[in-house]
């Protein structure tokens, strides 16, 4: 089964197999993995026409950058409560964010 997703998704089975789907990149996978990907919003590829992937919004880009920041895990970027410092988030966003915007982006990053 050939499957493509408009957003990055990770499909994991109970037996430990994991497949990452990059946005707009069709992958040939087993029926089991394909069905799980379809449940997460992917689509089955019927033909070889390229899939248009929409540009991510400014908020989505910030969330992706926060996830990368989390994965790096540099303690200099985080406060004692393990949330990122405001200056770090503002730098990633390229502008000064309100505390509500920073908190919403951080919550979204934690959920992704």
Domain ranges of the chain: 2-44, 58-111
| pLDDT one-digit tens code per residue, 77-100 | 999 999 999 999 999 999 999 999
pLDDT at 50 over 70: no
pLDDT confidence of residue 90: 95
How many Å apart are CA 70 and CA 60, to the nearest integer? 15
pLDDT confidence of residue 48: 60
| Contact criterion met (CB below 8 Å) for 34 and 82 | no
Global pTM value: 0.54
pLDDT confidence of residue 18: 87
Q: Average pLDDT over the chain, rounded to whole?
A: 90
Name which residue leads in pLDDT, 46 or 12.
Answer: 12
User: CB within 8 A of 105, min separation 6: which ones?
Assistant: 59, 62, 63, 66, 89, 93, 97
How many Å apart are CA 25 and CA 4, to the nearest integer? 6
Which 3-state string (H, E, C) describes 52-109?
Answer: CCCCCCHHHHHHHHHHHHHHHCCHHHECCCCCECHHHHHHHHCCCCCHHHHHHHHHHH
């Amino acid at each position: 089964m050939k499957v493509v997703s408009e957003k990055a998704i990770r499909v994991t089975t109970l037996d430990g197999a994991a497949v990452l789907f990059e946005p707009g990149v069709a992958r040939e996978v087993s029926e089991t993995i394909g069905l799980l990907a379809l449940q997460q919003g992917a689509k089955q590829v019927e033909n070889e026409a390229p899939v248009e992937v929409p540009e991510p919004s400014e908020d989505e880009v910030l969330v992706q950058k926060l996830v990368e920041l989390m994965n790096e895990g540099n303690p200099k970027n985080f406060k004692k409560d393990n949330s990122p410092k405001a200056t770090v988030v503002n730098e990633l966003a390229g502008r000064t964010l309100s505390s509500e915007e920073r908190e919403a982006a951080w919550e979204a990053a934690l959920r992704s």
